[in-house]
Structure 1
Amino acid sequence: MSGPSEADATPITSLRQMVEHIAGGAKPRSAWRIGTEHEKIPFRRSDLSPPAYEGEDGIRALLEGIAETGWEPVLDNGNVIGLRRGRANVSLEPGGQLELSGAPMADLHETKAELDEHLAVARAVGERLGLGFLPHGFHPLARREDMPWMPKSRYAIMRRYMPKRGALGLDMMLRTSTVQVNLDFESEADMVEKFRISLALQPVAIALFANSPFAEGRPNGFRSFRANVWTDTDPDRCGIPSFVFEPGFGFERWVEYLLDVPMYFVVRDGRYIDVAGQSFRDFLAGRLPGLPGERPTMGDFADHITTVFTEVRLKRYLEMRGADSGPPEMLMALPALWTGLLYDRAAQAEALALITDHPCGDFQALHREVPRLGLAAPWCDGTVQRLAQEVVAIARRGLVARDKGEEVYLAPLEEIASTGRTLADRWLECYETVWSGDVSRLFVEGAL
């Protein structure tokens, strides 16, 4: 989950400024990069419980240990709540989930090297503290009330506001874990194509990466419970926004949507001011109840963008956000999938034709089905598995065309699409057979 932006104190005087802020992210193809973000769930090896922030084996100690390998601490009211090194960041989700927001990389091999280094450091520091890491989409044992809260100011505001908008918002904050990829666009037209392709195909990603079939020590009835949690988090800022597929969609329409998403906070002098539920349009007019008479800056707008949680989010790049976290090979498979689909012209054209011309084009309905059923969700006269096979094949052709040998990272998805057996299906089979109903075995066999 994003932190506050580097403050840009430029006053906002027109809608055009905000449109140009996002449009300014457009880059020539030669400058396109791949940014991968992934989370993991820390646990105490002694009893599998979630570690608190403080304490000898706490999350603060974990961050401080990682900082010793060359990272600069990021503070919030004196608490270490993240790390920074160059264009990469290590940050905390509300329940202590540890996230690497990787630097923008030229290819997937650089991403793999970054991942390997990060995991090696996290394992080494975690081993010293008696902590392990579970790459899973939802905490399989802990109840909501068992989870600690990290001392990040924005999380306190969200904690108060979330229950007003959905029944599962606090579970999203405390118990979910994801992997996402950030990709560039060349122009407004290119952004629109990429946005539509990636939004329409998020249900396929949810199904392929399904890895959260347990909650509180038993099967929860879903292949991706994490994806289900997002359906009851906040209807104002989540899901698949249908207007992206409407004629005339572009940067300006996205900004208009952002202005109608209720705010969470405003940052002033390093302090978070709670304006949850209030209107950015009122802020533009100087009528924000939480800051009467004050008008927003471009930094405020950049912060506001980070509070939108659509399945694909447009900043100055596109974020694909629909996948459960998983083991290292799946953390690489997610950027491989979307890079293959969207960073080769022919593959992008194929993917666009697939979502535009498909006889079963109700991707919104599919989005509602895949959290429970995964690749077995009904699609046309079969299941979404067939669609997943088409999508993965297009991604492979796109990666082969890049001629960097990156297609190797698609191997886990090719197997899943071929067999129809996701990680969730495999864990459920273990639960019903060799585990004899003991979900705690996941912390041994599925840990990083």
Structure 2
Amino acid sequence: MKFSTFVHTRLNCLMVILVVFSLQGCNENKDEESPRVIIESPYENQNFSTVDTLTIFANITDNEKIKSIEISLLDTDYNGLGIARSYQTSGSPLNFLTDFILDEPFLNSGVYNLAVRANDGENTGSGYVQIHLTAVERVIENYLVVTKNSTEAGVYLGSEINDWQEKGVYSIDLSGAALNYRQNILGLAGGVIGDAVFYEIEEFDVVATIPGFGGNSLPYFFGLEFSAKAERFYLMQRDPQLRILDKYATPVSAAQLIPNFLPEKVFSIDDDIFVLQKSITSPTLLMGRYASSGLLLNSYTMSGPVKEVAKKSQSETYVWEDGANGASMLILNSGNNLMESAYLRQGETLHAAKEIGNGSFIISTSTGLYRYDYSGGTTVLNTLIESLTALYYDDLNGIIYGTAENKLYQISTTGVVINTYTFADSIAYFAVNYNR
């Protein structure tokens, strides 16, 4: 054998050995151990109603840090029902405790499985517990309208949509209103005048007050929203800060917003909070994405006001924007933080948008009222109705409500105006008050 051939052969052998050892090293470093999940609460075969909030407590252990946890409701064959919430975590072991809100009006009585899944970045471990649910009929208790002028807010309740009674007039330059229909708590937030006050709407007793510090024509509170999914009030402040309140209007946490920007609108999806913020020195608009703890996860530059944010999938979000080029729907991918245009009505102003089903929206533009389905395109509903600046949806009866100045419109899903109601002042807020 020639020396060069001998050396070449030996080198090839060494390379093969090194590759083998390298592959073995990679395999040795690969995590193949799944997290272990033990559900302590609820217990097996525990009974609940479909209006209950479930307390979830699970012990989770793993050789790696747990990165995320998902809770979901499954049928008896362990098929998903689309009822799930995700949480970002870090650590192991974990004693995981949270409330899981059942906010699904069409759940039937029966046996279900509750799943808690923990992921460490490579492996997923699951725990299951069987529970029994008893359906509670969902009905409308009443309707609510809040009106405003420069110094006062009026609250009206109606047992029927055409039977309104004034419940009170409050000295406040209203910046926002929100109803938690489960606890029957209505919040009214002032701007320059007044505090953020929360009322129990049966007797209109005050249940909580958060002082406002407006003055010199500068508002302190910029708006108020309520998320039925998260059972949280979101109070926007000048600090800039988003104060997060529980379902009883008790402060639980806060998000420090982007410096030199003021909050304009807030949206909540699962464990994420989206806050539209406007620069105090320029027309720049940013939408910040925050965790429920208040941690800023990312921010996105917007070309115009955001009117609706809704969940598309675990990693994608629908964003409706009154953009520079017209009324548009964007899709935000939280995995790569890219936002791409999915639909555009060129040159039209977007006044309002409201999700009425998964991927289905009602939108009000400068040319009329439309229904847009992500999978099916656009349907013209009504081009004669005046531009509605706010949209609401009664999912129990499939009725659309829209407001324009001091008028409330009741509209069918085919675009037919059923009724119109006129109030003395501009309508700032409308809500359907369900029993659950």
TM interval, short-chain normalised? under 0.3
Choose 1 or 2 for highest CA Rg: 2
Whose strand fraction is larger, Structure 1's or Structure 2's?
2
Length-normalised TM-score, structure 2: 0.24
Structure with the greater relative contact order (CA < 8 A, sep ≥ 6): 1 or 2? Answer: 1
Whose helix fraction is larger, Structure 1's or Structure 2's?
1
Length-normalised TM-score, structure 1: 0.24
